Amino acid sequence: MIITGESNIVSFSGGKDSTALLLMMLEKNIPVDDVVFFDTGWEFPQMHDHIAKVEKYTGVTVMKLHPKIPFTELMLNNHRTRGKRTKIKGGYGWPTPLARWCTNCKIQTIDKHCKQYDNPKHYIGIAADEAHRCKQYDYPLVEWGITEKDALEYCKSHGFDWGGLYEHFDRVSCFCCPLQGLRVLRNLRRYYPEQWNELVLMDLAVNRNCESQTRFRADYSIPQLEQRFRDEDRQLKLFGDGL
């Protein structure tokens, strides 16, 4: 069934910018008809807690969308359908800057969800200091001059803290993303060992299952990162925290 009339759809990653966007839209009495969150399956547990807190605070239901095939399955055992038969080959492996299959899946899933609306306006939480990322959607934070710092402070003033995630990361996304910087990965290992250990196991599975693109990053494999961070830990004990 097609929902007629103009509908305001908020794409909700759960991070500081999209959270500030949703709160500010409601504060400004801008109608919100749908709030969509794409659950990759690789989110921090604190993110799901945050979403539940946002729902309780605003009274708005966040619609959770999921990939048709789980991301871990796509990464390890990609299903390719030919006619009525499904042929399973080695998976996509880790995403790369030139092969962001995870991002493509997210965009396609959200766009498909929005097709139920006859005239959707799609709102994205990109801050004013990242206006270069804006494309064909609506970006109120840019229009309102809200920077990333402004967005985080605004959310904190409303009682949102993400369980401390923003104390260690500038952005909160998939914990296992290979496109993150070394400082982020270092903090993941140091402060979130459960997620780091899960990443290590995922990397072992990728190397075992995928014939191509098995390296986590172009510059470092996971074992090399582990060795680098261990060496840094030893230096830290000797010389203090200069990292």
Give residue-wise pLDDT tens across range 140-186.
999 999 999 999 999 999 999 999 999 999 999 999 999 999 999 99
Amino acid at 113: H
What's 63's domain CATH number?
3.40.50.620
**How many domains, in total, are found in the chain?**
1
**Within a domain: 218:** no
Asked if the structure places residue 89 within a domain, the reply is: yes
Determine, yes or no, domain membership for 40: yes
pLDDT band at 84 (very low <50, low <70, confident <90, very high): low
**Among 64, 135, 75, which Cα is nearest to 102's?**
75
- What number is the average pLDDT over the span 98-120? 92
Q: Provide the domain limits for residue 113.
A: 3-173
Within-domain flag for 202: no
Asked if residue 184 belongs to a domain, the reply is: no
Residue 225, domain member (yes or no): no
Helix, strand, or coil here: 111?
helix
- 69-81: pLDDT as tens digits: 999 999 988 655 5
Within-domain flag for 91: yes
Q: Which segments of the chain does DSSP mark as H helices, in order?
A: 16-27, 45-58, 71-76, 101-114, 140-144, 148-157, 182-191, 193-209, 222-239
Does residue 9 lie in a domain region? yes
